[in-house]
Chains A and B, each alone.
Chain A
């Protein structure tokens, strides 16, 4: 295992080392100690490696991730796994605002709570939050799945396109054009797989599904005067 202490080594060198790993690298296990809330830890990775961060991080941890697995043994600041393309990011603590924003793929697991704007403009990522999420989550979400074991805050899924939202607890309010939808067998199957991959102890049948009413993003001639 490669170990890296951010108390004694520069963050820039860590990211350069991680970003320099090839597809065939033998150095697949990395451990980062003393993150102390630093920003942009393990960003822009593009190799099948596993990075464990031993403590809380700041902004944009594991941003733009491809292929790699990043495991944070603490809480993360705003923008964790922002624009992730693939791979897995697991946060043992809480996540601040806009977790998984604009992410195209991969799996983001938050074992605590996520605050506002979780999954904003998500484009294909799977996000599983074991706790609650804050207001304006999945705002303008386009594709992917957001699974919440706890409660959702105000204006869930405002102006949503085609992402699927699954919430086990309460939803404080739904945003514009977001409605509750029927849970069909294929959704139960999808959710069971996501919950298992996220290590979440919950039954798919306990969730409700929300998605787009598709009234907002199609131009309707009767509304022409409103533009």
Chain B
């Protein structure tokens, strides 16, 4: 069992409140996933952002800050608990990940992209939200996950969201049964999956399909054929937000839509704090049906 929340803003009005609204949604889903939590927050930016994580952030991040000043001038670093967001010019993503892997091999790269930042850690959703100041974050859309582990260990790497491409993320409630075969297939396509987690394979699969030219909606359609198991997925791209349930549809899902937003919750109670929810269109997404919004 896991909990998923998502909020995709169609207008600008709620953007300053994105983190605040998502915090309550995430914390409400603690019962479904108390062992880890994570979130991806999308906000417009001109350059490139790399979100990194260290288990020894207090020691590593000052050194990283100095290293960046010397080796990658023009970058800034924002330090949030175990994570840091390095911002710089649009071409930062081409060279920095490899350079960091050499200079700081223990550093984990959580995400990269123009818009997305990913924060995830082991712990209660309330504590995870607090350590990253989620309430203060603004943005256009966000996806959050509370984890009750089944397929791999309770670690930072096993927490969701999984990001396997720039500005792409996926969260998953369920379990995939063909992830090992798919992992080998993806490896032959030079798509790397860094953890043993089944959900990361689904994320990498969608990244591969989008790299081949599909949009998010098309990639999800293909996933219906190639991904075997139980799943409710919520996925994000720089300007898109998608939902997909497997044909059996055991894993719960509720969608709500108003003029201002599309919201996803594993349960309705995750959505009760949203403005206008009493008059929103609320429905259960159909099995094996792609739901996909773009701004």
Q: Which residues does A use to contact B, with CB under 8 Å?
A: 36-39, 56, 58-59, 75, 77-78, 94, 96-97, 115-116, 134-135
B249 contact set on A, CB distance < 8 A = 97, 115-116, 134-135
* Assembled-state Cα–Cα distance A135/B267 (Å): 20
Which of A38, A56, A96, A135 contacts B252 (CB under 8 A)? Answer: A96
Q: Are B267 and A75 in contact (CB under 8 A)?
A: no
Q: Are A94 and B252 in contact (CB under 8 A)?
A: no
Which of B248, B270, B284 contacts A94 (CB under 8 A)? Answer: B284
Please give the distance in Å from B92's CB to the nearest CB on chain A.
42
Interface residues on B, range: 10 to 19
A134 contact set on B, CB distance < 8 A = 249, 286-287
Q: Is B272 an interface residue (CB 8 A)?
A: yes
Q: Is B295 an interface residue (CB 8 A)?
A: no
Our count of residue pairs bridging A and B at CB distance below 8 angstroms stands at 40
Q: Is B269 an interface residue (CB 8 A)?
A: yes
* Assembled-state Cα–Cα distance A56/B277 (Å): 11
Asked whether A115 and B284 contact (CB < 8 A) given A77-B252, A78-B252, A97-B249, the answer is yes
A116 contact set on B, CB distance < 8 A = 248-249, 287
Q: Are A37 and B282 in contact (CB under 8 A)?
A: no
Q: Are A58 and B268 in contact (CB under 8 A)?
A: yes
Q: Are B267 and A36 in contact (CB under 8 A)?
A: no
Determine which residue in B252, B269, B286 has the highest number of CB atoms from chain A within 10 A of its CB, and name it.
B269
Q: Are B268 and A56 in contact (CB under 8 A)?
A: yes
Q: Are A75 and B269 in contact (CB under 8 A)?
A: no
Which of B250, B267, B284 contacts A37 (CB under 8 A)? Answer: B267
Known: A75-B268, A78-B252. 14 other contacts (CB 8 A): A36-B269, A37-B269, A37-B270, A38-B269, A58-B267, A77-B252, A77-B267, A77-B268, A96-B252, A97-B250, A115-B284, A116-B248, A134-B249, A134-B286
Q: Is B283 an interface residue (CB 8 A)?
A: yes
Smallest CB gap from B285: residue in A: A115
Please give the distance in Å from A34's CB to the nearest CB on chain B.
9
Q: Are A135 and B287 in contact (CB under 8 A)?
A: yes
Q: Which residues of chain B in 253-279 are interfacial with respect to chain A, using CB atoms and an 8 Å cutoff?
A: 267-272
Please give the distance in Å from A105's CB to the nearest CB on chain B.
27
A115 contact set on B, CB distance < 8 A = 249, 284
Please give the distance in Å from A41's CB to the nearest CB on chain B.
11
Smallest CB gap from B282: residue in A: A75
* Assembled-state Cα–Cα distance A70/B272 (Å): 22
* Assembled-state Cα–Cα distance A39/B287 (Å): 23
A78 contact set on B, CB distance < 8 A = 252
A56 contact set on B, CB distance < 8 A = 268, 282
Task: State the 7 A-B residue pairs at the shortest beta-carbon distance, nearest first.
Answer: A37-B269, A37-B268, A36-B272, A115-B284, A56-B268, A116-B249, A58-B269
Please give the distance in Å from A8's CB to the nearest CB on chain B.
15
Q: Which residues of chain B in 216-271 are interfacial with respect to chain A, using CB atoms and an 8 Å cutoff?
A: 247-250, 252, 267-271
Q: Which residues of chain B in 86-101 are interfacial with respect to chain A, using CB atoms and an 8 Å cutoff?
A: none
Smallest CB gap from B273: residue in A: A36
* Assembled-state Cα–Cα distance A135/B282 (Å): 20
